[in-house]
Amino acid sequence: MSDNDERKIDPYRVYNIEEASKVLGMNPQTLSDYLRDGRIEAQKIGEWKILGKNLIDFLSVKTYVIVTKQGVKGTVKAMNQEELYKKLSTGAYGVVSRNSKTAIQYTPENIKEIVELKD
């Protein structure tokens, strides 16, 4: 996200779906789906209310490619590496190896490499 994008979004303003979809350049239905599944934090009080800070956070999410010691690759989304390591330390993230059909957990001790994908 560029500095220009950040200035367009007021972190303290409450946006509705129509306003937020314009700021994000996203279809309102897609945004509604993201709100329902929790990709963007919001409150539904009659209609969706989205704090500008949450829109900025959504735009700031990075995708990391994880390579395990077994050579299995997968992706995890996080705001930064600190959040990524917190997520990985829960043991809740993993991947099923296509070759062996076994589940491999992404834990700090099982990771060989982490690479941030660039836009």
Locate the domains of the chain by residue range. 3-60, 62-116
What pLDDT shows up at residue 47?
A: 95
pTM for the full predicted model: 0.61
Q: Evaluate whether the domain defined by 62-116 bears CATH number 2.30.30.
A: yes
Confidence class for position 5, pLDDT limits 50, 70, 90: very low
Mean of all residue pLDDT scores within the chain: 82
What pLDDT shows up at residue 106?
A: 77
The contacts of residue 104 (CB under 8 Å, 6+ apart) are: 68, 70, 72, 94, 95, 96, 97, 110
Correct CATH for 3-60 of 1.10.1660, 2.60.40, 1.10.3470, 3.30.450: 1.10.1660
Region 10-38 average pLDDT: 94
Confidence class for position 31, pLDDT limits 50, 70, 90: very high
